[in-house]
Structure 1
């Protein structure tokens, strides 16, 4: 009865056969997959765990004097663009195409006028040929004499030596014959002359051989180099003239006036009166507008740089525009007894156009104890502002992390670019943030730039 029990212990259940090795294989693949996921997650999280060194700086905060709504002075003036450009040609040519009309918006670098360039292209082709000729001459001097030229000169020298020796022998034969009165003196004189000619020819061929062996003089090479440099300068000048026949917009702005028409001759010189035109068109950036006023000298003490103003257009008296004084003329107009003052419009719109009448109200500055404090002006370095998602962005360092903040740019001043929206002035920002600086990554300040 004991034998069957022992046999039962040796029985292997088919359901359990091979189960343990299969579970170990599955466990191995799970461990490798988990390790791979951990490595990828660690790599992606590395910028958020390991700080990136970055040069930082503090913002420039200017706390202006506060203002009230008290108007100290009202003056009427005219709207004018901050910079009005009148495009003039750099060459004398005929207009063959004008691609912009009055009121059109153009972008910087856009082609707006094309001039006839055939004459200038011909000058460029001639200059190119002169450069090639000068380059070939310089290469000839630098390479020196050819082997065939040297061999030819050496052969000519040997021939001249043979002719000289033959002339000497002839003179030697004639001398005793003349002494013995067998030959006349004229024959001897002719032989002596031929000997001298042979000597001169031999000297000339030897000098020719020496020059070919020695090669060109350094002065000749320097002269050829100077000729090449002159030809290249003329070529560059001709190329510039061809390029000047294509007029591009120097800035992005609006065409204010179209002066030249197709077929007219334009020039870079002002002859006065009728004739060739000296300008093509005028343009300005209408997003950068000012109001120019002539201030009586007696009122000058109530106006100063940076003073806040309120601007109203006569065409739209219900619309208010904020501005500030940006320039007071260094000299007065003696005939009018006035001083010109320019007021920068903070946010001009499409309603505001050049030469419009505008009324400027200068507001009274008061101390912080007497009025409500105005918002501070914040300035950031140009290198700290980058384009992210199509808008100006500044990278702020907060609690050791990078934070991308969209801002609104103002005018560029000696203090930097004015930030009109997005920053308070208390932040620390990153200079020259690269594409690797992302929102939320860890940042270690390399040092605050002054």
Structure 2
């Protein structure tokens, strides 16, 4: 066949009219276009949603050791750090402050001067008492000298009466004078003691004008300034201070927690504890139970428990929030033949509920994979679970919108 014949066959015959599309066909075509646009829009939205990764914090599941991670936590409770030895220091008398020698955060020793009060009147009273004491002593010396002379006179009179040179009446008068002066001397001695006590009392009143630290500690509050009036009693309305400052003995810090009365049977005296401060969540402080206060709060249905901190540190300050785990020591049989628990330890916060089941979200590639787990024993802030192996990276505190297969990005990794 010639080339020209082939081209002729490929040529379109425009002599016949093109078929028209009726109204129904146009509607079908419009619907197809709308579906196509909607599909493209939905696919774009789905692509954008899948492309955006959710930022999460990850943690690594740990392998439990023999006997678990030490003693088991049988109970957890929250409370606050308190000071067993704390005092708001005030003056013994009402007076005006002349100077205040403390500032917040300053360490003071026992007996250290904290403030002074106006003491002009007290100094005058002390000077008056000392003068009275000296006068009483001088009077005592005078009476003692007179008594000595009277005794010599009696001795001479007794010698002369033997020689009939004086009468017996004169001797008796001399003896009476000696007895009277002896009684006067004893009375003056008591007056000297009274004057001495007056000096001591005036000295005490003067010492009250100096405010001293009752024990060593740290100043946590400065309550008054020079020129203000302080009083041990609440008087004078808002113009009178009842304290100069507050001192805390940092060595007496302990923890007070409220334990639900339904679980107080799990707590005993001297029981081991582990405290975690809200300010330092990665710092575990060992301790032990001091005492269980033998009364319940009927409003909160709790019992107060005092817990001692076995480690002292400057970072621990009063009124800090703290979470305490009460530990149960392992039995002697378990210590002799320790058994490694099955499963892995994950943060308790990584375990969430989905469709009534306990699950965790494992980090695989860049996706979150839902894994069903069986929670077991709690170890402080960790939880033993079965269903994943040690080394698996899990999402800590999974958000409610996180689903299986969602893209995630690690914000931070912690052990």
TM-score, normalization by structure 1: 0.51
CA separation of 1:367 and 1:141: change in aligned 2, threshold 3 A: farther
Partner of 2:280: 316
Name which of structure 1's ranges 102-111 and 231-240 shifts more when overlaid on structure 2. Answer: 102-111
Deviation of 1:278 after TM superposition, in Å, equals 2.1
Report if aligned partners of 1:253, 1:285 keep a CA contact under 8 Å in 2: yes
Report if aligned partners of 2:147, 2:181 keep a CA contact under 8 Å in 1: no
SS in 1 for 2:199: helix
Confirm or deny that 1:241 pairs with 2:199. Answer: no
Confirm or deny that 1:364 pairs with 2:328. Answer: yes
SS in 1 for 2:297: coil
Q: Determine the C-alpha separation between the residues in 2 that align with 1:77 and 1:91.
A: 38
CA separation of 1:272 and 1:349: change in aligned 2, threshold 3 A: farther
SS in 2 for 1:329: strand
Q: Determine the C-alpha separation between the residues in 2 that align with 1:367 and 1:142.
A: 84
Deviation of 1:340 after TM superposition, in Å, equals 1.3
CA-based RMSD of the aligned residues comes to 3.1
SS in 2 for 1:221: helix
1:79-126 superposed Cα distances (whole Å, 9 cap, x missing partner): 112311221211222111111111112223322212222111111101
Q: 1:256 aligns with which of 201, 215, 220?
A: 220
Confirm or deny that 1:347 pairs with 2:311. Answer: yes
Q: Determine the C-alpha separation between the residues in 1 that align with 2:142 and 2:301.
A: 74
**Pairs aligned (count):** 255
CA separation of 1:294 and 1:128: change in aligned 2, threshold 3 A: same
CA separation of 1:233 and 1:308: change in aligned 2, threshold 3 A: same
TM-score, normalization by structure 2: 0.55
SS in 2 for 1:76: strand
1:134-161 superposed Cα distances (whole Å, 9 cap, x missing partner): 222222222225869x99xxxxxxxxxx
Report if aligned partners of 1:113, 1:247 keep a CA contact under 8 Å in 2: yes
Partner of 2:144: 142
Structure 2 unaligned regions, length at least 5: 1-68, 154-169, 338-415
Report if aligned partners of 1:144, 1:216 keep a CA contact under 8 Å in 2: no
CA separation of 1:363 and 1:355: change in aligned 2, threshold 3 A: same
Q: Determine the C-alpha separation between the residues in 1 that align with 2:101 and 2:142.
A: 49
Partner of 2:246: 282
Deviation of 1:337 after TM superposition, in Å, equals 2.5
CA separation of 1:72 and 1:100: change in aligned 2, threshold 3 A: same
Partner of 2:389: none
1:228-261 superposed Cα distances (whole Å, 9 cap, x missing partner): 2121111111112222322222322210111121
Partner of 2:291: 327
CA separation of 1:336 and 1:98: change in aligned 2, threshold 3 A: same
Partner of 1:131: 133
CA separation of 1:219 and 1:372: change in aligned 2, threshold 3 A: farther
Report if aligned partners of 1:325, 1:343 keep a CA contact under 8 Å in 2: yes
Partner of 2:94: 92
